[in-house]
C-alpha cells in the first residue's frame, strides 16, 4: 500500500489574516509526519482543511496523486481521512461502544445488535490495553480516557489517513505509551499519519519526518533522526533560544515558611503534609488524576476539606470559600484556562480587574481609569500581544490568555503571598513557555511562594526548587531539584 497525501499550494485566509500561505508538502504512508510550530502557526487550520471543516481558498489535497474534493467532514471520512481534534467530539450521555461505532452501529433487523457492538468494542479496548467497560457512559470517564475513546473512534474507521491534533495533552505517561504502540502499529500497516504536538520528547520518539510551520508559512522539512531539539526550536521560533533552563535567572534567597498543610484529607487526597517557603518554587509532579489539581483546589477552598489543618504564616486558617483564600493572600491559576480561568467573552481589562473590583472604584462606581491602568500594567509587564485592552479574551492565543490570568494575580492591587499555578504551560508554544518560566522565577525573587503543578516532567524537575510527587491522592516522595531525575520522579509517580 504505497499511498501518500500531498498538500498542494494550500492557501487560506481569515478576515485579513493569511493563516496558510502556499503550503506544499507530502506525507508518505508508513511514516509518521510531525507537524510543528508555535500557536497560531497554522497547524490546526491545515488539519481542518484536511478534515473538510474548512475549504482552502487555493490549492488542493492529493491522495495517491489524485486530487480529492470534499465539502464536509462527512466527505473527508468517506475519503478515508480521520482527524482527531483536541476538543473531543463525543456524545457524553452515550456509552463507550455507542460513541466508537456512532456512524455505523451494527444492527440486527431494526434493532442495534448490542452483543456484536460490545464484543467489537471490547476487542478494540483490549488492543488499547484499557480496562473500562464498553458500556461505560463516556461523560463519566476521565478526560484522559475520553481522549482515548476519541482515538479509538478514528482507529475503528480504519482510515488510511489519520491526523492527531495534540492527542497526548490530557494523557498520562502510561496512556501515551499505549497510544504510541497503536500509532506504531498503524504505521506498520502503511497508514499515513500526521501528528501535531508541542512536546519535544514525543516528537523524537514517534515521528519520522517533521514539517515546521511558522506564521502560515512552511519553514522547513526535517528528518527526525537527522535533527535535534535545539535546531527544531530554532526553526519554530525563528531564533536560537538556547538552553531555556540554564539561562533562567533564579531566586537564591528562600525565606521562612509561609504555608503549611497538616494531615489534609478530602474526597480525592489523603494525609497531605507539606511546607512552602517564601521565595520557593514547589513543583508538583504526578500522572494525570494523581490528585494535584484537587489538592490545589482544596487549599484554595474551591473544594471542601474533610479534616486536617492549613497554616498561613504560622496561623491556622479555615477558608470557607475562594473569596476568603484570596483575602488571605492566596491565588490560583487553574488548569483549565477556558473553563475555570477566564470569562472568555469579557475583555482583557475586565478579566484582570475581576479579582479586585473593590479596589478599582471611585465612590460606589467602578472607575474606568483605574481599571484600565491595571490592565495596561499587566499588558506591559507580561508583554501580552494585543492591540487593545478592550479585546475579548476569547480572541487571544493560549499563551496570552495565561498571561492575562497571571496579570490578574500580580497587579499592584492584590497582595498575593502564595501563587498556585496549575499546568500554566499547557498548550502553550515553546517561546511563550520560556517566558513563563522566567516569570515564575521572577515571582519567587519578588518573595512569592509558588506552587507549580505540571504534567511535563522536564519542566517540573528543572524549574522547581523542591519537587513533591503525588500518586493516587497521596504524596509519594519529596526531593530537591538536584536530587530529581525523570526516572526517579516517574517511579514515584507510578507508585502504588
Partner 1 sequence: MAELATSVKKVIKSKMFALIMLLAMLTTFMQFGTDGMFLHPINIRTILDMMIITGMLTIGSAMLLISGALDLSMGAVGTMAGMLFAVLLRYYGVHWSVAFLICLALAAMFGVVNAILVNFARFPAFIATLGMAFVAEGVSFLFAGGANISLSDPFMRALATGRFMNNTIPFSILILLVFFIVYGLILSKTKFGRQIYLVGGNPHASRLVGINPRKISFILFINSSMLGAIAGIMFNSRVAAATTLGITERQFFGLIAAILGGVSFGGGTGGLGGAFVGLLIFSAFGNGMFLLGVDSFWNQAMFGMLLLVSMAFDYLRTVGWKNIIGRRSL
- Residue numbers at the binding site for partner 1 (CB under 8 A): 52-55, 71-74, 300, 302, 321-323, 326-327, 332, 334, 339-346, 350, 354-355, 357-358, 361, 364-366, 408
Nearest alpha-carbon partner for 371 in 407, 421, 336, 345: 407
Distance, CA of 329 to CA of 414 (rounded, Å): 8
Distance, CA of 210 to CA of 410 (rounded, Å): 39
Residues 237, 238, 239, 243, Cα dihedral to 10°:
30
* C-alpha cell read off for 59: 490549492
Distance, CA of 239 to CA of 35 (rounded, Å): 19
User: Looking at beta carbons only, is 246 or 365 nearer to partner 1?
Assistant: 365
User: Looking at beta carbons only, is 73 or 308 nearer to partner 1?
Assistant: 73
HSE-up (13 A, CA, CB side) for residue 36: 33
What burial letters (b/e) apply to 241-278, b meaning 16+ CB within 10 Å?
A: beebeeebebbeeeeeebbbbeebebebbbebebbbbb
User: Looking at beta carbons only, is 1 or 357 nearer to partner 1?
Assistant: 357
User: Looking at beta carbons only, is 291 or 334 nearer to partner 1?
Assistant: 334
Tell me if 496 sits within 8 A of 471, measured CB to CB: yes
User: Looking at beta carbons only, is 54 or 180 nearer to partner 1?
Assistant: 54
Distance, CA of 389 to CA of 370 (rounded, Å): 13
Cα 235 to chain centroid distance, Å, stands at: 22
Tell me if 57 sits within 8 A of 11, measured CB to CB: yes
Tell me if 191 sits within 8 A of 16, measured CB to CB: no
Minimum CB–partner distance for residue 19 and partner 1 (Å): 14
Minimum CB–partner distance for residue 311 and partner 1 (Å): 21
User: Looking at beta carbons only, is 73 or 427 nearer to partner 1?
Assistant: 73
* 69 burial level (CB within 10 Å; 0-12, 13-18, 19+): exposed
Task: Please state the φ and ψ torsions of residue 376, each to the nearest 5 degrees.
Answer: -65, -40
User: Looking at beta carbons only, is 83 or 117 nearer to partner 1?
Assistant: 83
User: Looking at beta carbons only, is 114 or 370 nearer to partner 1?
Assistant: 370
Minimum CB–partner distance for residue 253 and partner 1 (Å): 30
Amino acid at each position: 500500500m504505497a499511498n501518500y497525501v500531498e498538500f498542494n499550494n494550500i492557501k487560506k485566509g481569515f478576515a485579513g489574516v493569511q493563516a496558510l500561505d502556499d503550503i506544499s508538502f507530502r506525507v508518505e504512508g508508513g511514516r509518521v509526519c510531525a507537524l510543528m510550530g508555535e500557536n497560531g502557526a497554522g497547524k490546526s487550520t491545515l488539519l481542518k482543511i484536511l478534515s473538510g471543516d474548512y475549504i482552502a481558498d487555493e490549492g488542493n489535497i492529493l491522495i495517491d496523486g489524485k486530487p480529492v474534493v470534499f465539502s464536509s467532514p462527512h466527505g473527508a471520512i468517506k475519503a478515508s481521512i480521520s482527524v482527531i481534534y483536541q476538543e473531543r467530539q463525543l456524545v457524553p450521555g452515550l456509552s463507550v461502544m455507542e460513541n466508537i461505532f456512532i456512524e455505523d452501529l451494527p444492527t440486527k433487523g431494526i434493532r442495534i445488535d448490542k452483543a456484536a457492538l460490545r464484543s467489537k468494542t471490547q476487542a478494540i479496548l483490549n488492543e488499547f490495553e484499557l480496562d473500562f467497560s464498553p458500556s461505560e457512559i463516556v461523560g463519566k470517564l476521565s478526560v484522559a480516557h475520553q481522549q482515548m475513546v476519541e482515538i479509538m473512534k478514528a482507529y475503528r474507521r480504519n482510515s488510511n489517513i489519520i491526523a492527531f491534533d495534540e492527542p497526548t495533552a490530557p494523557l498520562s505517561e502510561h496512556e501515551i505509551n499505549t497510544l504510541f504502540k497503536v500509532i506504531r502499529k498503524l504505521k506498520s500497516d502503511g497508514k499515513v499519519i500526521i501528528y501535531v504536538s508541542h512536546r519535544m520528547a514525543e516528537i523524537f520518539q514517534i515521528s519520522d519526518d517533521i514539517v515546521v510551520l511558522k506564521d502560515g508559512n512552511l519553514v522547513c522539512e526535517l528528518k527526525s533522526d537527522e535533527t535535534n531539539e535545539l535546531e527544531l526550536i530554532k526553526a519554530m521560533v525563528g531564533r536560537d533560544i538556547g538552553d531555556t533552563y540554564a539561562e533562567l535567572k533564579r531566586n537564591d534567597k528562600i525565606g521562612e515558611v509561609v504555608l503549611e498543610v497538616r494531615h489534609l484529607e478530602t474526597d480525592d487526597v489523603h494525609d497531605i503534609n507539606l511546607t512552602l517557603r517564601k521565595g520557593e518554587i514547589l513543583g508538583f509532579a504526578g500522572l494525570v488524576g494523581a490528585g494535584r489539581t484537587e489538592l490545589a483546589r482544596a487549599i484554595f477552598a474551591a473544594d471542601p476539606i474533610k479534616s486536617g489543618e492549613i497554616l498561613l504564616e504560622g496561623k491556622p486558617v479555615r477558608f470557607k470559600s475562594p473569596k476568603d483564600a484570596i483575602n488571605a493572600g492566596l491565588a490560583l491559576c487553574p488548569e483549565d484556562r477556558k473553563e475555570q480561568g477566564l470569562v472568555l467573552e469579557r475583555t482583557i481589562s475586565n478579566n484582570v480587574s475581576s479579582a479586585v473590583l473593590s479596589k478599582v472604584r471611585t465612590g460606589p462606581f467602578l472607575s474606568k481609569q483605574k481599571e484600565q491602568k491595571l490592565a495596561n500594567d499587566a499588558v506591559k509587564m507580561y508583554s501580552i500581544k494585543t492591540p487593545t485592552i478592550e479585546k475579548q479574551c476569547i480572541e487571544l492565543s493560549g499563551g496570552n490568555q495565561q498571561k492575562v490570568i497571571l496579570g490578574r494575580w500580580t497587579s499592584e492591587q492584590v497582595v498575593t503571598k502564595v501563587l498556585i499555578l496549575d499546568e500554566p504551560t499547557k498548550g502553550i508554544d515553546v517561546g511563550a513557555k520560556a517566558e513563563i518560566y522566567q516569570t515564575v522565577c521572577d515571582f519567587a525573587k519578588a518573595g512569592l511562594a509558588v506552587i507549580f503543578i505540571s504534567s511535563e516532567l522536564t519542566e517540573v524537575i528543572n524549574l522547581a526548587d523542591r519537587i513533591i510527587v503525588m500518586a493516587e491522592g497521596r504524596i509519594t516522595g519529596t526531593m530537591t531539584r538536584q536530587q530529581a531525575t525523570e526516572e526517579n520522579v516517574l517511579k514515584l509517580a507510578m507508585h502504588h
